[in-house]
Amino acid sequence: MMAQSPRPLVRGPADAPTSVVMQALDALDAGARPLVVDESSGQLAAALHARGAEPQVWRRSASRGDTASAWPQVADCTAAFVRLGKDRRALAMALHAAASVVAPGGAIVLFGANAEGVKSAAKALEDVAESIVTVDTRRHSRVLAGRRRADIPGLRASLDAWREVHEITLNGRARPWISYPGVFAAGELDAGTAMLLEHLPALASGAAVLDMACGNGNIGAAVHERFVDAAVDLVDSDAVAIAAARENVAGTTIICGDGLAAAPRARYDAILSNPPIHDGVEESLAFLQRLIADAPARLKTDGILQIVIQSRIRALPWFEAAFKEAVVVAQDRRFQIIRGIAGNVARAKATDLKFTSTRR
């Protein structure tokens, strides 16, 4: 008898939508080889494994040591379980990706929270599935399921089919810019990043610079062009963003990974970032908190962490606790740029630091 595959790793507790879909598994035909898409806790894959299936996992974003890929690296799946994300076009891409590896007639299950808009997401599911039913609606969540259509007109079955070519202006020069659904700012230079680029720190010849949470590479590209002998690295947890950045920013090191731990150099002269402050639809300062707390250990003496964030977030005291010097470089009604300079001071623990924000 063939040995069962190893039990998938469980990374944390299941959120409400995941708990509901797990409770509904008796009503769903997962088959022997279901695909689990963007469910971060690992609980759903473990539950499917406990039922005798061999779940395949596709994570677009790296987290807690897990790897990620821009497109499913599997085939011949019997069903797909897709966790609703925050971006509708990214959801469409995820559903098409799932449909590209699920056999016709296989179940395609979409689950998420009501607050995330799962009710209206049924239309996106209709593009790739038929006979859609609502399986469960408990805990302010919803589980929708249909059967993979035998014929899907316009099926976009590869990452390249979702590639978008835009035009942006960097360092005063218009240039083509690649993006994909769900990548921050899409094919535009957002106002916060533009403000950060207007106030870049002076960099010595040969400086090592990290664009942290790089998205499709705006900051890294601008620095690489402006400081031609700088060694520029880019890191982001989103494998799709990394695919875009690799096209946009040649001659740099670009890595998909979770936070500063993924950065390839031990220490940098400058870490630059427009950090994400949302987790799904909810505001979360966790990434920002971790970046400020961990950056001093990854900077050379007098190295700089410089970020752009919303003006309503009162982050300067946190910088002051973590860095030798801290200053607001620029600020307007929407954004502020804060610079911390590392030195021989004790690094503050993330748990010792408090953030406050004021909504306008």
Residue ranges, the chain, pLDDT below 50: 1-3, 345-346, 348-351, 355-360
pLDDT of residue 201: 96
- Give the tokens for residue 142: 């919803």
The alpha-carbon radius of gyration of the chain (Å, integer) is 22
Instruction: Tell me whether residue 350 is in a domain.
Output: yes
**Chain centre distance of CA 166:** 21
Residues 182, 325, single domain; the answer is yes
Distance CA 192, CA 340 (A): 18
Instruction: Tell me whether residue 4 is in a domain.
Output: no
pLDDT of residue 132: 97
Instruction: Tell me whether residue 257 is in a domain.
Output: yes
Residue numbers of the domain that contains 280:
163-357
pLDDT of residue 353: 54
User: What are the residues facing 283 on neighbouring strands?
Assistant: 278
pLDDT of residue 149: 98
pLDDT of residue 65: 74
User: What are the residues facing 309 on neighbouring strands?
Assistant: 336
User: What are the residues facing 141 on neighbouring strands?
Assistant: 113
pLDDT of residue 352: 52
Instruction: Tell me whether residue 2 is in a domain.
Output: no
Distance CA 220, CA 255 (A): 12
pLDDT of residue 287: 95
pLDDT of residue 278: 75
- Would you call 226 helix, strand, or coil by DSSP? helix
Which residues lie closer than 8 Å to 359 by C-beta, 6 or more apart? 312
Residues 180, 153, single domain; the answer is no
Looking up residue 241, the CATH number of its domain turns out to be 3.40.50.150
Residues 145, 56, single domain; the answer is yes
Residues 217, 251, single domain; the answer is yes
Amino acid identity, residue 99?
A
